[in-house]
Amino acid sequence: KSILRVLPKESQYRLVHRLDDGTSGILVLAKNRKGARALSEAFSERRARKLYIGLTASVPAKKQCIIRGNMIKARRASWKLDRKCTQGGNCACTEMRFRGLGQREKEENSNFPTSVARRLLIALPYTGRSHQIRVAAKAMGASLLGDKLYGGLQADRLYLHAAALQIQLSHDHDINIICKPSSGSAFSSSRFQSPWSA
């Protein structure tokens, strides 16, 4: 909610879709209560589709899968995944695809070696649980770069980015947003830029 602190106090902006700490990308703010209600309904009725991208140094157990399970609180403000979804539980569901990043490039003047990024993660969360993509990546043996909490290699940032959002507000009105990451040496590398452009 820190984004709301920079807005004038008299504004009626409402935060509708937030991001976990360290995740960059698309946020959704509504200008007023009516807009917040319409957008919140779209999210709760699953008329909003989100796409996240991330980078990992690991080779995942599978190239693509759907990870489904209850999110259970663990130590140090982290979560773990129980592979069962029980009724009334904190069930999370994420479709995940991993793609290779091509040839490693020669690094020049970088504090973070971009060559450690081996795979691009494309995540489509069907639910909106805290840390669900990060926990699902760990469950696949492919923790995200910079994700200290879930065992990812040290990096100059957490490599998770909310890259695209589509919201169906009515039968003939969709909102489509694409946001390319603008920070992080591995996101800036040509190895990342090639798959992004494809």
Residue 7, token pair as written in the block: 């807005």
Which residues pair with residue 161 across a beta bridge?
24, 53
Q: What is the DSSP string of 97-152?
A: EEEE--SPPPP-S-SS-GGG--EEEEEEESS--TTHHHHHHHHTT-PBTT-GGGTP
Residue 15: count other Cβ atoms within 10 Å of its Cβ. Answer: 14
Q: Is residue 20 flagged as an active site residue?
A: yes
Kindly name the residue from 20, 147, 156, 174 that is annotated as catalytic: 20
Distance, CA of 35 to CA of 116 (rounded, Å): 43
Strand partners, 17: 28
**Beta-carbon count within 10 A of 127 CB:** 14
CA-based nearest residue to 144, from 114, 111, 119, 112: 119
- Please choose, from the candidates 71, 29, 67, the residue with its C-alpha nearest in 3D space to the C-alpha of residue 165: 29
List active site positions: 20
